[in-house]
Amino acid sequence: MKTNPLIGLIGTWKGDKGTDLAPKPEEDENNPYYETLVVEAIDMEISNAEEQELTAVRYHQTVFEKETDEMSHSETGFWIWDNISDTIMCAFSIPRGVSLLAGGTYEKTTGGETTIQVSSKLDDPDWGIVQSPFMRAKAKTLAFKRELKLSGNTLSYTQETTVEIYGKIFAHSDTNSLTKV
């Protein structure tokens, strides 16, 4: 029997070692940040067309710049595990007018670490990106990938959002290490 790879994510996580490499018109910047990630179980079994068995957790991430203590990112979404195909999905929205569904895999090591990797691309028929007309015109998201590493009470991640902005293609990256509180 497969073990649900999302169970270990449930809880409240905090981290203050975040690094955000962000695009700017003149000179790109590196912004240190801290964040809170709240992951909650969804108390229901999800079945689709009697062929798909899903388990999901809901999450909300808030990110604050260390220099100003201002919120710079808010993200609400779901991590979803398809028990039958053994696929991981991440569906989320940010209040800038961007939503996406990323898909991928997970791996559990004998040492107990779980690694989850998901990605999506613009116009991909399976794992896609939807964005408002403004975002498409000014800061078009072309691709997204995220990797989580969960080991006990430590959760670290790296993610890269490829955007077309300020007349260039930019790999906007974020990394952090969080602890369950």
Integer Cα distance of 18 and 13 in angstroms: 13
Tell which wins on pLDDT, 22 or 34. Answer: 34
Under a CB-based contact definition with an 8 Å cutoff, are residues 80 and 89 in contact? Answer: yes
Closest CA to 81 of 106, 110, 109, 48: 106
pLDDT class for 88, splitting at 50, 70, 90?
A: very high
Buried b (16+ CB within 10 A) or exposed e, 125-156: eebbbebeeebbeebbbebbbbbbbbeeeebe
pTM of the full predicted structure?
Answer: 0.94
pLDDT tens digit string along 124-168? 999 999 999 999 999 999 999 999 999 999 999 999 999 999 999
CB within 8 A of 157, min separation 6: which ones? 146, 147, 148, 149, 174, 175, 176
Of 29-38, 41-50, 59-68, 116-125, which gets the smallest average pLDDT? 41-50
Residue 91 has pLDDT above 80, yes or no: yes
Average pLDDT of the segment spanning 40-59: 87
Number of other residues whose CB lies within 10 A of the CB of residue 101? 20
Number of other residues whose CB lies within 10 A of the CB of residue 99? 16
Closest CA to 176 of 161, 153, 162, 159: 159
Token pair in block for residue 85: 């195909």
Residue 97 has pLDDT above 70, yes or no: yes
Token pair in block for residue 151: 């080991």
User: DSSP states of 79-125 as a string?
Assistant: EEEETTTTEEEEEEEETTTEEEEEEEEEEE-TTS-EEEEEEEETT-S
